[in-house]
Structure 1
C-alpha cells in the first residue's frame, strides 16, 4: 500500500500546483463576490442616446445620432456623482445626481422653419434601490428632473438671429444594472424616462404665435463610476465589511480622462477696417473648455477597440476667425455656449507582430499596456484625428500641453481631412521597424469647405515616412509626409475671372457656385532633435499647391516653424516646461488675389488685403501643480494677422489649466 501511494503521488504531484492555483483563483473570485460592498461615494461619466418630443409645432432641432437616427437629443453625454450604502441583507440604497448634454446639429436634416427648439442641458436628482448579487447590482431609480430649453428665432436665411430660454421641472423614473470592473471602477447601463413640465414661449414680439414646449424624453446611457476611496475616512480601518478588498484591475482595459480650460484675450490693436471674417480690432476675451475620456478594450491578442467621447464648450477669440495661424488649438470652428457632446474617437486597431525583439507599451490614453513586437504591421479603422497618427512631434504637438498656435503644433499648410472639431473616418496601415516606419491612410473629407458633414464620395490620402536616428548619441526623428485631397472646392483664379467680368457679383457667391471635385496636394517635413538631456528643438516646413480652396484645416499655403523646449530639471522643477518658437505663414498668388477681391476663407477675410506673410512668436511656461494638473502661461505676438499689414500687430495672452487622469 505504501508503494502504491508513492506511485499515485508521483503520477499526480506534477499537476497539483496547477490544480491548486486554479482552485485558488476560483476561490478568490468567489471570495471577492462574497465580500464586495457597494457602500461609498463615487463620481463618473456617461454617454448614451435619447429621443422624445417637445410637443406639437415646436420644430425640434435634429441633433446628431451618428449610428442612430437624429433626434431632439441625439447622442448624449455628461457626468454623475452619488453615494451608496449596502445594508446587511444586501439591499443597496443610494442617491445620485447627473447632468447631460446633447450632441451637435445634424445640419443636413434641418428643415426650414421660423424657429427651432432644442435643449441646452438636462439633469436629474434620484434615489436608487437595488439588491447586490456580489459584484452585480440591478436597481430601480426615481426622482426629480430639470432641463433648460431654448428657442432659436431664425432669419430669412435660416440662421438664428435671436433666442429665448426657459427652465423646466419634472420627474424621472428608470432602471439599470451596475457591475464591478475591477479596482475602484464600476460600469453600468441605465434607462430613464423623463417627464418635464411645460413652459410657454411668447413670440408675439417677433411676429410669431406663442409656443408651448412640453419635453418628454427617453434615454439609454452607458456609464463608468470611480469609487473615491476604499475606506471612507470616518470608518474604522478594522471594519472589514466596509473596507471592500478591491477586485484586481484587468490589463485588458483602461480608462483615462483629460480636462482643459483655456481663457484667452488680447487688447485693442490697430484696425483701420475689418470684414466679416476679421479679428475684431477692439479687445476680446473668450474661453474654451473640453472634457474627454479615453476607453480601451483588448478584444484578443493584438486586437483593440478605443472609444473617446468628448464635451466641448466655448469659442475662440473673434469666433475662431481672423488668424490663419489661430491662437488656440482647442478652439473648434463650431463653438457652443453650452457643452456639446461628440463621440470623437471610435476605432479598431489590429497589430500583427512580425517576431523578433519586443518593446514595452506604457498604460496611456488610447494605448493599452503590455508588450509588442518592434517589427509589426498595424491596421486602424474607424473615427479619429489624422494627427493621432501623422505629423507627430515630441516638442510641438499637443495644444493641451505645449504650443497652442495652430501653426506651431501642426504642419500648417497640411490640409488634413477633418470635420469642424478636427476628426474624420478612415483606415490607416503602418509598417514599423526599429529605425523607421511608413504609414498610409485613406480618409473621408468634408462635403465642402468648413462643412461638418464627412463623405467618402471623394476622399483624402496621407503617406508618411518616419526615420529615427541619433546625432552624438542624442535621439532625433525626421518625418516626411505627402497628402492629396479631392473635395468639393472652388478654384481661386476662376472665381477672380468671373468676378472681374461682372462687378455686380459677390466673389464669395461666385466661389460657392463653381465648386466641384478638385484636387489639392502638398507635403510636409517635420524634424525633432534632442540636443541635451531635457532640451529639444523642432522644425516644420509645409506646402500645398494653393490653387483651390482649403478644405479642412486653415488658410495657409506655405509655412515654416521652429522652436525650443526645455524641461525644468535645470532649475529643480523636473516636470515643468518652457517653450519658445515662431512660425511664418504665406499664401499662393491666386489665394492672396482672391482675398484682395473681397474673398473669405475658412478663417480669414478682411474684405481687402495689404499682403505680408503672417508672422507668429509664441512662448509658454507650463508649471506642474502635481502629477495630474499643469498650469500654463502663454504669450503670442502675431504680426500681419490674416496676412494684412494694414492691421495689427496683436498680442494674445493665454492661461491654460490641464488635468490628466
Structure 2
C-alpha cells in the first residue's frame, strides 16, 4: 500500500507538471487555455432496477449460489467527465464517479471469506447488469474512475474530422491517419473491443457477455479501471493497438499490483474495415496475456479433495506465488445496415487453466445480435436490441466447481450437471427528453453458473439514463 501511494503521488506530480507547462506555454498566446472551447464538461447518471422471478434449483446453497427465490436489486452510477486541451493534439481527462447498489441474487449465506474480495454480482457468469462492474460494495462510494493524458500525433496530410465535445473528448480536429498515446488510469475497454452496438451497458445491452468478450479477463480493479499505457496506430482502413496494464493484487480486488516485473497484462488488437453491399463494416482480432498470482484450477481442486484448501483468505482468490498465466484471443465484428440498424457478434476463448482474476468466470463465449433503429416507426432516437450469448468453461474449471470450490462470482457447492450458460436479451430504449432515456429490458438465462440443475431464470429491468 505504501508503494502504491508513492506511485500515485508521482503520477499526480507528473500530470500537474504537464498541465502547468502547457499553461505556461499557451498563456503567452492570447491566454489560449482560458477559452471555454478548450474544456469539455459532461455528465451521466444511470440507475438499473432489476429483478428475477423464482426458479427451480433451490437445493443448492453454495458460496455464490444465485438465490432461487424472487429478488430485486438496484444499482446507481454517476460520472463527471472533465477534459482540458493542453497543446496541439493533447488533452488531460478526469472522471470522478459515484457508484453503489448490487446485482440480483446476492449471496444469501454468511461468507467465511473477506467480503472486500468480491463484487456484488454472483451466480451468473454472463451477469445481467453491466453496471454492477462499477460497484465495489453496496454502500455508495466516490472514487476517481479515470485520470489520464492523451496525445494525438498526425501521421500525414490525410483529411481531418472535427470531433465535437463529448464525454472524454475535447473539441478538436482528428486526422484520419494518426498515432494515439494514452497514459494513466482508465478502462482498457475504452480503447479495445469496441463495438458500435454492444459495448456500453448505460445505453445498450445490459449483459456482461454482450458489453465485452466474455473470455477476455481484461485488466481492471473491482470497478473496471486500471493504470495503463496504450498506443494506437490508426489508418483509414485499419488500426493496430497495444497496451500494457496493471492487474489487481487479488482476484477482483480494488488494489492494483505495481510489481510490474511479475504482474502485468499485455493486450494487442488488430482492426480492419471492410465493405459489404456498400456498407462499411469492422472486424477486430484481440489477443491478451496476463501474468498474476492466479493459481491453477487443478492445484486448487487437489487441495479441496485433500481437505487442505486454504479458505482464509481463499486460495483461488489470492494465490501464493507469481507466475500464473492466462492468455486468449477473441473476434469482434459489427456490420451497419443503414437506417435499419446493424448486426454484431463476438467469439472469445482463453486457456482456462489459471483462475479468473479480473472480469468474469468464462473461458469461452459466443454472442450474436441485432440493433434496430426506430426510424421505421417514426421514433428515430429509439432503439430495439436483441441478442443471444453462450458461455462455457474448461474441464479444469468444471472440476474445481464440482469439488466445492468458489471463485469470486461462481460456486454452488458442487457442479454435477455442467451445461453451457445460455442467455437471451431483448430491450427497448426510448428517448423521453433531450437528455433522458428510459429502457425496458428482459433476459432469459438457462443454466445459471453452468448448473444444468438450475434455472431458467427470467429477469426484468428498468434503466434510467441521463446524459449531457
| TM-score computed with the length of structure 1 as normaliser | 0.61
The Cα of 1:469 is off from its aligned counterpart by 1.7
Match status 1:562 vs 2:349: no
Which whole-Å deviations, capped at 9, do the CAs of 1:180-203 have from their partners, x for residues lacking one? xxxxxxxxxxxxxxxxxxxxxxxx
Residues 264 and 375 (structure 1), Cα distance of their counterparts in 2 relative to 1, 3 Å cut? same
Counterpart of 2:293 in structure 1 is 488
CA displacement at 1:431 relative to structure 2:
0.6
1:513 & 1:296 partners in 2: Cα distance?
39
Aligned to 2:293, the other structure's residue is in SS state: strand
Contact preservation (8 Å) 1:419, 1:552? yes
Q: Is the 8 A contact 2:82 2:168 kept in 1?
A: yes
Higher-strand-fraction structure: 1
- Listed as ranges, the matches of 1:140-159 within 5 Å are none
CA contact (8 A) 2:100 2:135 kept: no
Gaps of 5+ in 1: 1-63, 70-247
Provide closer, same or farther for how the CA distance between residues 478 and 577 of structure 1 changes in structure 2, counting only shifts above 3 A: same
Once residues 121 and 448 of structure 2 are traced to their aligned partners in structure 1, the CA distance between those partners, rounded to angstroms, is 13
Following superposition of structure 1 onto structure 2, how do residues 216-615 of structure 1 map, counting pairs within 5 Å? 250-271=36-57, 272-317=59-104, 318=106, 319-332=120-133, 334-356=135-157, 357-457=159-259, 458-500=263-305, 502-503=306-307, 505=309, 509=314, 511=316, 512=318, 514-609=320-415, 610-615=417-422
Residues 441, 68 of structure 1: alpha-carbon distance in 2 compared, 3 angstrom cutoff: closer
Q: 1:404 to 1:65 in 2, by over 3 A?
A: farther
Cα distance in 2 between the residues matched to 1:528 and 1:428: 23
Structure exhibiting the larger radius of gyration computed from Cα positions? 1
Q: Is 1:630 the equivalent of 2:421? A: no
For 1:596 and 1:368, the matched residues in 2 are separated by 51
Check conservation: 1:462, 1:484, Cα contact below 8 A. yes
- SS of residue paired to 1:594: helix
Pick one of 417, 425, 448 that aligns with 1:641.
448
Q: TM-score scaled to structure 2, two decimals?
A: 0.86
Q: Spell out the pairing of 1:17-32 with structure 2 (5 A cutoff).
A: none
1:86 paired residue number: none
SS of match in other structure, 2:332: strand
Q: Deviations over 1:534-566 (max 9, x none)?
A: 320000000000000001000000000010010
Higher RCO (C-alpha under 8 Å, 6+ residues apart)? 2
| Cα shift at 1:368 | 1.1
CA distance in 2, matches of 1:389, 1:262: 25
Q: In the superposition, relative to structure 1, how do residues 472 and 506 fare at CA in structure 2: closer, same or farther (>3 Å)? A: same
Bigger mean CA offset, 648-657 vs 370-379: 370-379
Flag the 1:329–1:509 CA change in 2: closer, same or farther, 3 A. closer
**CA contact 1:396–1:402 (8 Å) conserved in 2:** yes
2:245 and 2:266 in contact (8 A); partners too: yes
Report the alpha carbon displacement of residue 333 of structure 1 after superposing the two structures with TM: 7.1
Following superposition, the deviation at residue 515 of structure 1 comes to 4.8
Contact 2:95 2:145 in 1 (8 A): yes
CA-to-aligned-CA distance 1:185-244 (integer Å, 9 cap, x gap): xxxxxxxxxxxxxxxxxxxxxxxxxxxxxxxxxxxxxxxxxxxxxxxxxxxxxxxxxxxx
Q: Secondary structure, in 3 states, of the residue corresponding to 2:397?
A: helix
- Could you say which residue in structure 1 is the equivalent of 2:461? 654
Deviations 1:376-431 (A, max 9, x none): 11111000001100000000010000100001111010000000000000100111
> Can you list the C-alpha shifts for 1:237-259, whole angstroms capped at 9, x where unaligned?
xxxxxxxxxxx962211100000
Residues 610-658 of structure 1: per-residue CA shift (max 9 Å, x gap): 1000000000000110221100000000000000011111111000000
Pair 427,509 (structure 1): closer, same or farther in 2 beyond 3 Å: closer
Residue 302 of structure 1: how far off its partner (Å): 1.1
Q: Work out the CA distance in 1 between the residues paired with 2:444 and 2:321.
A: 35
Report the CA distance shift for 1:66/1:288 in structure 2 as closer, same or farther (over 3 A): farther
Q: Partner of 2:269: helix, strand, or coil?
A: strand
List runs of 5+ in structure 2 lacking aligned partners.
11-33, 107-119
CA contact (8 A) 1:324 1:555 kept: yes
Q: CA RMSD in A?
A: 1.9
Equivalent residues in 2 for 1:68-107, closer than 5 Å: none
Kindly tell me the number of residue pairs found equivalent between the two proteins.
419
Q: Are the counterparts in 1 of residues 294 and 319 from structure 2 also a CA contact under 8 Å?
A: no
Does the aligned pair in 1 maintain the 2:291–2:322 contact within 8 Å?
no
Alignment of 1:610-621 (within 5 A): 610-621=417-428
Distance 2:181 2:235 in 1: 15
Tell me how far 1:374 sits from its aligned partner: 1.1
